[in-house]
């Protein structure tokens, strides 16, 4: 299995509080990996360290990228620790947010279009004076965004204000937006939050589809055990910032420490 991302003992300390301690993650190409754990376990913090929102207090994050040099395919591991979020996104890591961060006052289409901006080659003069290269790029961005919106079933709402969409559609829009950045690795923060069982099932299918269609590696935080068990190749479990287990779904389901972390210890046991 080819590694695309790995973290080396990343730790996040806020003053006296250690939110995440020595987290070691390995993502291999095409995998769907889940990060679970009780609330406050540090899962989003781990995400934030990988995507550059936080700089780890200790440890490093490595991105393994394919590039073609002199006709030969090379794999180069690159230290991305402490890079800014926009730099990390440009390198191909995209994310969604736990508390949906859409551009509320902007239209559905604009939300996705914005995520295309990072790949633009034209400069601002070309954009203002509508020079040929810009016009071409704009057309491509619109086409790409529309096709993504169709994929998530939001093409008809493209001119509506994104905040006017129902909750489930907003979540899908966020995923479409993340996809528009041309990622190779997609981080989803609780994509199934607030969904009913049918919606969660659809989401599971959807994630597998986009993984295949866009050649992605997916890393997700999720509480919906149905989704997690149904979709993940491997699972990491965090509790109070510490990795208490990792393995495939079957192993995790039967792991005593995991059960205790979620359900607490039975006093009479």
Partner 1 sequence: MFSGIMRNEWEGSLTKSYLGGVYMTLELFLQHLANGISLGSLYALVAIGYTMVYGILRLINFAHGDIFMMAVYFAFFGVMTFGMPWYVSFIIAIALTGVLGITVETLAYRPIREAPRISILISSIGASYLLENLAIVIYGGRPKTFPQIPLFTDMVQFGTVHIQMLTFMIPVVTAVLLMLLMYLINKTKSGMAMRAVSKDFETAKIMGIDVNRTISFTFGIGSLLAAVGGIMWGLKFPSILPLMGVMPGIKCFIAAVIGGIGNIQGAVIGGFILGIGEILLVAFLPELSGYRDAFSFILLILILLFRPTGIMGEKISEKV
Partner 2 sequence: MKRNTIYTITAIIVLFVFVYFGNKYLDSYLLRILNLCAIYTVLGLSMNLINGFTGLFSLGHAGFMAVGAYTTAMLTLPIATKQMNFFLAPLVSPLDKIVWPFLPSLLLAGILSAFVAFLIGAPVLRLKGDYLAIATLGFSEIIRVVFTNTQTITNGALGLKGIPATTNLWWSFGTAVITVFIMVSLINSSFGRAFKAIREDEIAAESMGISLFKHKVLSFAIGAFFAGIGGGLLGNMMGTIDPLMFRFFMTYNILLIIVLGGMGSITGTIISAFIITIAQEVLRFLDEPIFPNVPALPGLRMVVFSILLMLVVLFFRQGIMGTREFSWDKFFRFFTKRPLSKGGAK
Least separation, in Å, of the C-beta of 73 and partner 2? 25
The one-character DSSP state at 107 is B
Q: Is 152 in the site for partner 2 (CB under 8 A)?
A: no
The piece of 46-54, 75-83, 126-134, 206-214 that touches partner 1 (CB under 8 A) is 46-54
For 208, the enclosing helix (H) or strand (E) is helix 197-213
Q: Are 24 and 7 in contact (CB under 8 A)?
A: yes
Q: Which residues of 22-59 are buried (b: 16+ CB within 10 A; e: fewer)?
A: ebebbbbbebbbbbbbeeebbbbbbbbbbbbebebeeb
Q: Is 51 in the site for partner 2 (CB under 8 A)?
A: yes
Indicate which of partner 2, partner 1, none lies near residue 190 (CB less than 5 to 8 Å, by partner kind): none
Strands (E), 139-260: 185-189, 217-221, 234-239, 242-247
Q: Is 14 in the site for partner 1 (CB under 8 A)?
A: yes
Residues 6+ apart with CB under 8 A from 28: 1, 2, 3, 4, 217
Indicate which of partner 2, partner 1, none lies near residue 44 (CB less than 5 to 8 Å, by partner kind): partner 1
Among 12, 27, 50, 113, which residue interacts with partner 2 (rule: CB under 8 A)?
A: 113
Question: What does the binding site for partner 1 look like in residue numbers (CB under 8 A)?
Answer: 14, 44, 48, 53-54, 97
Question: What does the binding site for partner 2 look like in residue numbers (CB under 8 A)?
Answer: 51, 53, 84-87, 89-90, 94-95, 97, 101-106, 110, 113-120, 122, 124, 127-130, 134, 137-138, 141, 177-178, 180-181
């Amino acid at each position: 299995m080819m590694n695309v991302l790995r973290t080396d003992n990343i730790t996040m300390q806020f003053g006296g509080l250690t939110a995440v301690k020595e987290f070691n993650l390995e993502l291999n190409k095409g995998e769907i990996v889940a990060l679970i754990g009780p609330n406050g376990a540090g899962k989003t913090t781990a995400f934030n360290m990988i995507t550059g929102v936080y700089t780890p207090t200790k440890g490093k994050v490595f991105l393994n990228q394919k590039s073609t040099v002199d006709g030969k395919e090379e794999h180069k591991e690159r230290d991305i620790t402490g890079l800014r979020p926009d730099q990390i996104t440009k390198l191909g890591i995209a994310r969604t947010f736990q508390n949906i961060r859409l551009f509320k006052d902007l239209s559905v289409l604009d939300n996705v279009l914005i995520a295309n901006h990072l790949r633009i080659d034209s400069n601002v003069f070309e954009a203002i004076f509508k020079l040929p290269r810009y016009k071409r790029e704009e057309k491509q961005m619109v086409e790409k965004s529309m096709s993504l919106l169709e994929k998530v079933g939001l093409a008809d709402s493209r001119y509506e204000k994104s905040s006017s969409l129902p909750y489930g559609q907003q979540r899908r829009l966020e995923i479409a937006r993340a996809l528009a950045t041309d990622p190779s690795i997609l981080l989803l923060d609780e994509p199934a939050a607030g969904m009913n069982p049918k919606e969660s099932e659809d989401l599971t299918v959807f994630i597998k589809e986009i993984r295949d269609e866009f050649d992605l590696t997916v890393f997700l935080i999720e509480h919906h055990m149905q989704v997690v068990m149904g979709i993940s190749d491997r699972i990491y479990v965090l509790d109070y910032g510490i990795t208490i287990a990792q393995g495939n779904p079957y192993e995790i389901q039967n792991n005593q420490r995991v059960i205790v972390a979620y359900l607490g210890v039975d006093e009479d046991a």
